């Protein structure tokens, strides 16, 4: 029997695995995040163990036939190392890029960043978590001086008076967390949902606002306008704990309810009802997720909702404040320890001289040898194979062909590479394009830490040995570093890597120095920052001060400029994308689990729109945008706005439609809205 954690979302629900040849998932009631509960994905998580599509031998593309053929590990790694050396000799260190994933353990994310900066000497590293909550991270860093998805335990939601969920379908994306909403309501609290679709989460809400996609920002501006007009701003808190409110007060003065209604489609009466609710509440918690964040205005949108929470005096108050519902399993830890183009371990910034000196000292290399800031995720992919971009890409833990915005263009860029290397457990759509495919361990076959949405560092423990011929990502990284002649240490034992990570993070904003595997086991996880072995960890942040130079939170004035692409005569509708209950991310894992329903991609549209275009439920419709088209069955539902269509992104097709316009601060693509048309 092994206590571990689910391989999917950022809840990192605790579970127990039993058996060896056939794994069985059982409850772990003592783990506090989920109290033994799991969603259907969690209960069926062992479904890939022994799957017929599981990769168990390296594959190398035969240049004469174009086919991927089985190869030895030595052959495959030699192909990678020689290709890297040749390309860097011809084009410089940045000719090779690295692309990671928000599902990688902290140890993998850390060692991948070290591989890039030390063994490869490249600045070109980023990860798919850039598409997860980077906008919320940017806004939180601006406002609080620190980014941790939730600055409080998730269970605190049960004690808040009003919880406002902006762009989150919590009940389907992380079902075990929805019990907190139910308990909140049972004790008399109120749940508000802001979403263009009336989802399963909205069914748990007391007030539902359905704005035009891309207009969550003016909603927040309008709410703060009304709170200020009603005298509901906590002036004492604002004066004592914040700066910048006067600019924000002026910026929201023109956002009266009727103007918000014209822009967002949300009735002025509903906006007033929300403001009245917030003004009268003792405690308020505002949570944002991808629906609010995956926009060219994502950072500004999150900042606007943070401004609301700050104006009410909630941030740092018990059972209140602002938080982001992280998506991927290690979306939090994955960006803390070196996978992002601009960061070093411990959430240090790569252009900070002191940060470079500290991390270089841990790695045993000169600080001057570390490269500088590289391209963000989509900018990196967009540059692949160009005259000035990388000629090789190493991919760990990401299925770019399905998950990237404007995916057809990104696929073309992948095809232009001289060398594409993918480490994965199955032949994903991206792996199928690779020159070298490296079979790696999955969650039950390895140990490593994850950092969940609360900032709780947890330990996934190995339950079974991997199949013969499969290696861990840590072993792959260490072997490549050795072949590339790196003199720095690249350990492959996860506990040894974690100990090094802890030293590298010491003194940083995400300080893991006092965390060990033994502490995690004994304490059901440890909350960072935890700077020493004696430190209890930090479940709740900002009670006394914010992580800024003066300890005050920052109000930031923002303006609404709208989505990068607006509807017109040719494309009169809004397209938005999202998840469904039974699938996860690009579906590379969940689509291969027989126990999970796989109905394929579909197009959700309102009956009024269906009647206008002649669509019938279950029959095919075609969605087109300026980037491509998708043919899929229609689902005619009254729970979506008549001017909006929804497509889930777990299958090839949805992200061929989405817009790759970027948030200028976070580098987040505008997945959640673009102009579209529908026909039969």
| Helices assigned H by DSSP within 115-214 | 134-144, 170-173, 178-186
Residue 576 to residue 210: CA distance in whole angstroms? 13
**β-sheet with 24-27: strand ranges across:** 2-5, 14-18, 24-27
Please name the CATH architecture into which domain 573-679 falls: Beta Barrel (2.40)
Written as one string, the DSSP assignment of 243-266 is E-HHHHHHHHTT--HHHHHHHH--
Q: 182: how many CB neighbours lie within 10 A of its CB? A: 12
| Cross-strand partners of 227 | none
Conformation bin of residue 38: beta by default, left when phi > 0, alpha when psi is -120 to 50: beta
The predicted-structure confidence for 526-546, as pLDDT tens digits, reads as follows: 999 999 999 999 999 999 999
Q: Is residue 50 over pLDDT 90?
A: no
Q: What pTM was computed for the model?
A: 0.97
Show me where the domains of the chain are located.
2-48, 59-131+340-446+462-492, 135-324, 573-679
Residue 47 to residue 298: CA distance in whole angstroms? 36
The top-level CATH class assigned to 135-324 is alpha beta
Q: Is residue 20 over pLDDT 90?
A: no
**Structural element, H or E, at residue 228:** helix 216-229
Confidence label for 316 from pLDDT (cuts 50, 70 and 90): very high
Residue 303 to residue 555: CA distance in whole angstroms? 8
Task: State the pairing for strand pair 436-439/59-61.
Answer: antiparallel
Confidence label for 174 from pLDDT (cuts 50, 70 and 90): very high
pLDDT at 110: 98
Is 299:135 a contact under the CB 8 Å cutoff?
yes
Q: What percent of the chain has pLDDT over 90?
A: 97
The pLDDT mean for the chain works out to 97
Cα dihedral 211, 217, 223, 224, rounded to 10, equals 180
Residue 536 to residue 201: CA distance in whole angstroms? 34
Q: Residue written as tokens 């089985």?
A: 70
Nearest by Cα to 445 from 490, 475, 489? 475
The count of C-alpha atoms lying within 13 angstroms of the C-alpha of 118, restricted to the half-sphere facing its C-beta, is: 29
Residue 520 to residue 447: CA distance in whole angstroms? 13
The predicted-structure confidence for 509-526, as pLDDT tens digits, reads as follows: 999 999 999 999 999 999
Confidence label for 274 from pLDDT (cuts 50, 70 and 90): very high
Q: Is 21 helix (H, G, I), strand (E, B) or coil?
A: coil
Nearest by Cα to 676 from 585, 582, 609? 609
Residue 571 to residue 626: CA distance in whole angstroms? 8
Nearest by Cα to 347 from 116, 135, 516, 138? 138
Per-residue tokens: 111 = 């060692």
Give me the phi and psi of 444, to 5 degrees please: -80, -10
Is 490:482 a contact under the CB 8 Å cutoff?
yes
**Structural element, H or E, at residue 299:** helix 298-311
Is 395:427 a contact under the CB 8 Å cutoff?
no
The predicted-structure confidence for 404-427, as pLDDT tens digits, reads as follows: 999 999 999 999 999 999 999 999
pLDDT at 343: 95
C-alpha pair distances (Å), 403 with each of 43, 397, 577, 586, 649? 24, 12, 11, 6, 7
Q: Which CATH number applies to 2-48?
A: 3.30.200.210
C-alpha pair distances (Å), 469 with each of 56, 238, 361, 452, 515? 5, 60, 35, 31, 32
Residue 247 to residue 307: CA distance in whole angstroms? 11
Angle between helices 473-483 and 73-91 (to 10 degrees): 50
pLDDT at 120: 98
Per-residue tokens: 18 = 């039993």
Is 140:453 a contact under the CB 8 Å cutoff?
no
The predicted-structure confidence for 549-608, as pLDDT tens digits, reads as follows: 999 999 999 999 999 999 999 999 999 999 999 999 998 999 999 999 998 999 999 999
Q: Is residue 133 over pLDDT 90?
A: no
Residue 274 to residue 223: CA distance in whole angstroms? 7
| Cross-strand partners of 457 | 451, 526
Q: Is residue 21 over pLDDT 90?
A: no
pLDDT at 535: 98
Per-residue tokens: 85 = 């050396």
3-state DSSP helix/strand/coil % of the chain, to nearest 5: 35, 20, 45
Nearest by Cα to 210 from 603, 656, 646? 646
Nearest by Cα to 589 from 5, 174, 49? 49
pLDDT at 327: 86
Q: C-alpha angle 370/371/377, rounded to 5°? A: 130
Confidence label for 100 from pLDDT (cuts 50, 70 and 90): very high
Q: Please report, in angstroms and rounded to a whole number, the separation of the first and last CA atoms in the chain.
A: 53
Nearest by Cα to 286 from 196, 176, 151? 151
Q: Is residue 460 over pLDDT 90?
A: yes
Task: State the pairing for strand pair 343-344/59-61.
Answer: unpaired
Residue 404 to residue 660: CA distance in whole angstroms? 8
Q: Is residue 17 over pLDDT 90?
A: yes
Is 505:512 a contact under the CB 8 Å cutoff?
yes
The top-level CATH class assigned to 59-131+340-446+462-492 is alpha beta
Is 562:301 a contact under the CB 8 Å cutoff?
no
Cα dihedral 340, 343, 346, 347, rounded to 10, equals -90
Per-residue tokens: 301 = 């949108």
DSSP label at residue 176 = G
Give me the phi and psi of 570, to 5 degrees please: -80, -35
């Amino acid at each position: 029997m092994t206590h571990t954690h689910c391989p999917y979302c950022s809840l990192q629900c605790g579970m127990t695995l039993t058996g060896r040849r056939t794994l069985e998932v059982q409850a772990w009631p003592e783990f506090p995040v989920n109290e033994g509960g799991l969603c259907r994905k969690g209960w069926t998580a062992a479904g890939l163990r022994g799957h017929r599509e599981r990769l168990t031998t390296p594959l190398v593309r035969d240049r004469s036939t174009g086919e991927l053929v089985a190869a030895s590990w030595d052959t495959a790694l030699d192909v990678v190392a020689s290709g890297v050396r040749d390309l860097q000799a011809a084009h410089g260190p940045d000719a090779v890029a690295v692309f990671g994933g928000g599902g990688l353990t902290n140890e993998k994310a850390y060692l991948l960043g070290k591989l890039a900066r030390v063994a490869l000497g490249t600045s070109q590293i980023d990860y798919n978590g850039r598409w997860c909550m980077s906008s919320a991270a940017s806004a939180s860093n601006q406002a609080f001086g620190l980014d941790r998805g939730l600055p409080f335990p998730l269970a605190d939601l049960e004690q808040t008076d009003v919880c406002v969920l902006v762009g989150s379908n919590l009940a389907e994306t992380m079902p075990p967390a929805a019990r907190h909403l139910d308990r909140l309501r049972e004790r008399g609290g109120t749940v508000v949902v802001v979403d263009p679709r009336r989802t399963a989460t909205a069914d748990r809400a007391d007030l539902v606002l359905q704005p035009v996609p891309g207009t969550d920002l003016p909603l927040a501006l309008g709410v703060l306008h009304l709170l200020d007009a009603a005298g509901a701003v906590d002036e004492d808190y604002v004066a004592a704990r914040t700066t910048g409110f006067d600019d924000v007060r002026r910026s929201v003065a023109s956002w009266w309810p009727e103007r918000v209604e014209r822009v967002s489609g949300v009735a002025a009466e509903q906006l007033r009802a929300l403001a009245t609710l917030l003004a009268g509440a003792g405690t308020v918690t505002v949570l944002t997720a991808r629906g609010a964040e995956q926009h060219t205005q994502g950072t500004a949108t999150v900042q606007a909702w943070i401004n609301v929470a700050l104006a009410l005096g909630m941030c740092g108050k018990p059972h209140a404040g602002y938080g982001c519902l992280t998506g991927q399993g290690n979306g939090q830890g994955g960006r803390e320890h070196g996978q992002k183009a601009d960061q070093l371990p411990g959430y240090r910034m790569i252009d900070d001289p002191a940060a470079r000196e500290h991390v270089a000292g841990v790695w045993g290399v000169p600080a001057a040898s570390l490269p500088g800031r590289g391209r963000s995720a989509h900018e990196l992919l967009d540059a692949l194979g160009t005259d000035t971009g990388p000629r090789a890409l190493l991919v760990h833990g990401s299925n770019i062909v399905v998950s990237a915005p404007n995916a057809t263009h990104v696929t073309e860029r992948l095809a232009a590479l001289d060398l594409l290397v993918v480490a994965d457990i199955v032949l994903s759509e991206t792996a199928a394009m690779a020159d070298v495919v490296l079979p790696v361990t999955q969650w039950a076959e390895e140990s490593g830490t994850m950092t969940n949405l609360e900032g709780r560092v947890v330990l996934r423990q190995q339950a079974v040995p991997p199949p013969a011929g499969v290696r861990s990502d840590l072993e792959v990284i260490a072997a490549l570093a050795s072949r590339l002649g790196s003199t720095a240490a690249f350990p492959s034992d996860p506990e040894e890597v974690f100990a090094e990570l802890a030293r590298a993070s010491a003194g940083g904003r995400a300080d893991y120095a006092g965390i060990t595997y033994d502490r995690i086991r004994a304490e059901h996880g440890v909350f960072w920052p935890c700077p020493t072995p004696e430190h209890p960890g930090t479940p709740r942040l900002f009670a006394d001060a914010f992580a800024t130079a003066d300890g005050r939170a920052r109000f930031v004035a923002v303006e609404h400029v709208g989505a990068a692409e607006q509807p017109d005569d040719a494309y009169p509708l809004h397209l938005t994308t999202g998840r469904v209950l039974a699938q996860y991310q690009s579906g590379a894992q969940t689509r291969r689990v027989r126990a999970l329903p796989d109905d394929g991609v579909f197009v959700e549209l309102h009956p009024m729109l269906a009647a206008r275009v002649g669509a019938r439920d279950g029959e095919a419709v075609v969605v087109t945008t300026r980037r491509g088209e998708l043919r899929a069955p229609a689902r005619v539902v009254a729970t979506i706005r008549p001017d909006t269509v929804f497509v889930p992104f777990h299958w090839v097709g949805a992200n061929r439609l989405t817009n790759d316009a970027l948030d200028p601060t976070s580098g987040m693509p505008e997945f959640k809205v673009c102009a579209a048309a529908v026909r039969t």
